[in-house]
Amino acid sequence: EAMSCGLPAVVTRSGGPSESLREGDREFGVLVDPNDPADIARGLLRLLASTQAWDQFQRAGMARVLARYTW
């Protein structure tokens, strides 16, 4: 849902949502360990501290949604 709104996604490494953020060597968002608060903070800071990372995941995520899903 975040990617469809043009927002970069921070997703936990468990369950189905994590599968939507990787394809081969391409990344479409940030994966974090749900049991590690420091890792969650690092994932969020990765986006907040870098406009380049924010823009990269924003563009890649939106392109992935448009290519894979129809509503």
Residue 41 pLDDT: 97
Give the separation between CA 27 and CA 47, rounded to whole angstroms.
Answer: 13
pLDDT in tens, 7-55: 998 999 887 777 777 776 678 889 999 999 999 999 999 999 999 999 9
Segments forming the whole domain that contains residue 32: 3-68
At 12, which CATH number?
Answer: 3.40.50.2000
Six-digit token string for 24: 């081969």
Residue 24 pLDDT: 67
Q: What's the total number of domains in the chain?
A: 1
Check: CB of residue 30 under 8 Å from CB of residue 3.
no
